[in-house]
Amino acid sequence: MTTLKIGTRGSPLALAQAYETRKRLMDTHGLEEELIEIKVISTEGDRIQDKALRDFGGKGLFTKEIEEALLDGSIDLAVHSMKDVQTQLIDELRITAHLPREDVRDGFISRDVSHIDQLPEGAVVGTSSLRRQAQVKKRRPDLDVVTFRGSVQTRLEKLERGDVAATFLAVAGLKRLGLTNELTTAIETDVMLPAVAQGAIGIECRTGDERVESLVSDLNDRETEICVTAERAFLRKLDGSCRTPIAALAEIKGDKIHFRGEILAHNGERSFFESREDSIEKATEIGIESAESLITKAGAEFMASLVE
């Protein structure tokens, strides 16, 4: 008899995250593996492989079908990469737990050089992330940055074929897949600030489903929750989407939360940065205030240009 049904995308990374969630549920509550079913759900984002997702609706493309399965009772909980989750959830659904966050850094992967600064002029670099595209162009405007979609394994295959000279993947994903041997260099966050909620896994449940929420809430990592809350408040205030190059990272240091945020022009020629610190109780406020400061610094014309 199945006790819980976990909904997930079918990529190797998504499945690794679902397996981690199942293992934590088993260890925390003494459940047998056969009582927790993992149900793969195809999302529109997975089916669109040859076009930029920003042209089809952005973040919700990776969660819509899974959330529909939650709402109709086909599954009991959903496991998401938090960077794929929309900043506004409907009242019927909530993120009940955040698993301990993995390495937040971006990984540089190349078979020829060990650092982006060593790439020859005009080299082709592949990434599907507008944030990474803008950050690369800011640092190396001479490089040819192309859209590069697919699973981690697909992107590595394209790199091996020589389609590009280098690419970027989240270090967290490589670690969860046991592929850190593919990593050339982990890029420090003061060089490339990561995406909002990068490296964080969220577990989504139906609001008011006391049985499931009681099981899942025990998995919550409070530090990850606080940091992701700050970053998502920042993104929400900026009205960030897949069309917007936005980076942010919140870190807890002692009893303080340290926040860094950045917005960039698509071509990397202009960027605005904000850094501030406050008490951990003000996670939402620090995200919102950082966004408001950046909006003022950048000006209405720049902000409008990000969504054109």
Three-state DSSP string of 54-121: HHCCHHHHHCHHHHHHHHCCCCCEEEEEHHHCCCCCCCCEEEEEECCCCCCCEEEEECCCCCHHHCCC
Sign of CA dihedral 94, 287, 185, 166: positive
End-to-end CA distance of the chain: 51
Q: How far is CA 238 from CA 118, 119, 200, 291, in A?
A: 34, 33, 20, 6
Three-state DSSP string of 213-238: HHHHHCCCCHHHHHHHHHHHHHHHHH
Q: Report yes or no: 216 and 79 within 8 Å, Cβ to Cβ.
A: no
10 Å Cβ neighbour count for 211? 11
Name the residue with tokens 């529909």: 68
Tokens (6 digits) for 108: 């540089």
Question: SS3 for 14?
Answer: helix
* Catalytic one of 84, 103, 106, 209: 84
84 flagged as catalytic: yes
Q: Which residues are catalytic?
A: 84
